[in-house]
Chain A
């Protein structure tokens, strides 16, 4: 064989998430300049994000709170948030499995802008939302005890990128086969810096530690 048949590299000079990243950085600046603590809440469907937010809004009622709700369909979550006492914008992705920075930018245009806290409840999914920066100050992963202890090891990216892990529905621990110590150990193995708060939005157990973290 002739040496003229060498390997060839095909360069594609465009970062796949470049447009999103640029928009996310602009949003981060906007949140900072407005003094908003912005958090991107990520979990599986049914982990309790909206219930947690309802209780958080009531627990931090002295602050003005805005919420961006992401769902494939319906405004049900946003309606619950408004009933709890916060301002809410509902994004319907019509099939997309995550929010992106452009959607958040569009949603922000419909909010007031002078919130102390801005919560972005992402589409229920432990995979794709972890890949998209929304300009948030921090990602917060929520994992319920009913989902099993193996999720941090099986879906590491979201736990690697999150500043906080909220282990939700701990009131159900007596009824489910979940080794919460193993869950926490795996999360810390993936991300030694992650702060973990086991809690129950239903009973209120552990919620104060979460509120304290928010007030920091």
Chain B
């Protein structure tokens, strides 16, 4: 498994949890902005915010799957030969 540069599974899980939390927060902001843009009649901005919120939702969902993937990857073993 190539872990893309994370230095430990624990660190990866911690960062994933942080990202997930922040993405969820930003998604809620964006959903508010969609409503505000609609109220101001800016349908293009509303569409962009809506799409971005959708992508953030997908990212949160993917990050949620990370725990299972990580758990399937066993710890390294060390043995004197």
Contact = CB atoms under 8 A, between A and B. Distances in A.
B73 A78 contact: no
Interface residues of A, number: 43
**Max chain A CB contacts within 10 Å: which of B14, B33, B79?**
B79
B3 interface: yes
Interface residues of B, number: 32
Given A14-B18, A16-B15, A79 B8 contact: no
B76 A92 contact: yes
Contact of B3 (A8, A18, A90, A96): A96
Given A5-B33, A96-B1, A16 B6 contact: yes
B78 A5 contact: no
Contact of B76 (A10, A75, A103): A103
Given A8-B29, A89-B79, A94-B76, 11 more contacts: A2-B40, A14-B18, A16-B7, A75-B79, A89-B78, A96-B3, A103-B78, A106-B78, A110-B80, A127-B2, A128-B3
Interface string A73-104: 00100110110000111111111110011110
A132 interface: yes
Interface in B16-31: 18-19, 22-23, 26, 29
Contact of B81 (A1, A4, A90, A97): A90
A96 B7 CA distance: 11
B66 interface: no
Nearest to A87: B80
Nearest to A101: B7
A19 B39 CA distance: 47
B81 A88 contact: yes
Nearest to B81: A78
